[in-house]
Amino acid sequence: MAVSLGELAVRFGCELRGDPETLVEHVATLVGADARSLAFLANPRYKPQLATTQAAAVVLDEASAKDCPAASLVCQNPYLTYARIAGVLHPKRQAPPGVHPSALVAATARIDPTAHVGALCVVGERVVVGPRAVIGPQSHLDDDVTLAEDVYLVARVTVCRGVAIGARTVVQPGVVIGGDGFGFAPERGTWIKVPQVGSVRIGADVEIGANTTIDRGAVDDTVIEEGVKLDNLIQIAHNVQVGAHSVIAACTGVSGSTSIGKRCMIGGGVGFGGHLTIVDDVVITGTTMVSHSIMERGVYSSGIPLEKANTWRRMVARFKRLDRLEGRLKKLEGAAGAPHDQEEDDD
């Protein structure tokens, strides 16, 4: 789709420096751009690429605009403006309204006539699919699932019985929503399954990455609030609550009944214990072990940056004999007549 810079400047409130009649057709990186491309500069690390870009136009901020060899769309938040323009140049694919003849839809399901049900989908009893929702091929909506308007299941998504998904939520392939929570009661060395009778409620404007799993609640529901963004291969256990507009990166696991606040940002590979509370506006860096509740906003970590393996092995060895280091220090203190800190002996 070709759009003029003038139109883009008006629609997205940018200051245009260049010919408003110039057309752009697609987005590109600064390096990969050609004369039909719109590029952007948001991350300063890519600033050196600006000088030689072949882009027709670049979305950037005031500070960088003076160094731009192409037409400029100047704005305060170039990444956000780029995101919006990219949505115009590369619109979401349209799926034709209607049910693919190969899909199997229960007689009691109510599919809005503007919704799309793809090839080889299986749709259970009493399922409700809202206006313009798109259910990609090979997806499965079990009985009593509800999808609000404009939900987009990309392909091969499994939604177990009774799950409700809010408007405009996007679910990538391979996701499983509403599998049984992991609940077992011990009985003389074996484990008896605890029926998982809750469900999952997912708010509006959520995104769920490929092969992520969200378990149904044990009694009450697991809840993902509006605007939450979950990356790929994330585990959300039963009765977890993720607050509105929180973002979680890939490979993170959240154990049962933990509640994460609103607007949190969680890195990749983070592990949350169960029954914890994380307040709003907490940032947790990648590969952190969250072993206790966080009651104060801020940034939290527990990952250790890598070293060359030889160096690392020595560091770990020293770490593991810290007790002896303390002992030697105490001996010296004793010899010097210095009182040592009583607290150190507590363990």
Task: Point out which span in 13-21, 52-60, 66-74, 266-274 binds a copy of itself (CB under 8 A).
Answer: 266-274
Q: Which is nearer to a copy of itself, 130 or 203 (CB)?
A: 203
Residues in region 46-75 near a copy of itself by CB under 8 A: none
Q: Which is nearer to a copy of itself, 148 or 249 (CB)?
A: 249
**Whether 238 is catalytic:** yes
Residues in region 88-107 near a copy of itself by CB under 8 A: 90, 92-93, 102, 104
Are 39 and 50 in contact by the 8 Å Cβ rule? The answer is no
Q: Which is nearer to a copy of itself, 66 or 163 (CB)?
A: 163
CB of 20 to a copy of itself, least distance (A): 23
Interface with a copy of itself (CB under 8 A), residue total 135
Residues in region 305-334 near a copy of itself by CB under 8 A: 305-310, 312-326, 328-329, 331-333
Q: Is 259 in the site for a copy of itself (CB under 8 A)?
A: no
How many whole angstroms separate alpha carbon 36 and alpha carbon 55?
A: 7
Are 193 and 211 in contact by the 8 Å Cβ rule? The answer is no
Residues in region 206-245 near a copy of itself by CB under 8 A: 207, 209-211, 213, 215, 219-220, 227, 229, 231-233, 235, 237, 245
Task: Point out which span in 10-18, 54-62, 68-76, 81-89 binds a copy of itself (CB under 8 A).
Answer: 81-89
How many whole angstroms separate alpha carbon 257 and alpha carbon 102?
A: 39
84's enclosing H/E stretch is helix 78-89
**DSSP string over 159-218:** E-TT-EE-TT-EE-TT-EEEEPP--EEEETTEEEEPP----EEE-TT-EE-TT-EEEPPS
Amino acid at 148: A
Question: What residue has token string 């392909």?
Answer: 155
Residues in region 143-172 near a copy of itself by CB under 8 A: 154-156, 158, 160-161, 170, 172
How many whole angstroms separate alpha carbon 6 and alpha carbon 17?
A: 10
Q: Which of 315, 176, 283 is nearest to 237 (CA)?
A: 176
Binder of a copy of itself out of 29, 34, 63, 69 (CB under 8 A): 29
CB of 112 to a copy of itself, least distance (A): 22
Which residues share a beta bridge with 71?
A: 57
Are 273 and 290 in contact by the 8 Å Cβ rule? The answer is yes
Q: Is 108 helix (H, G, I), strand (E, B) or coil?
A: coil
Question: Could you list the active site residues?
Answer: 238
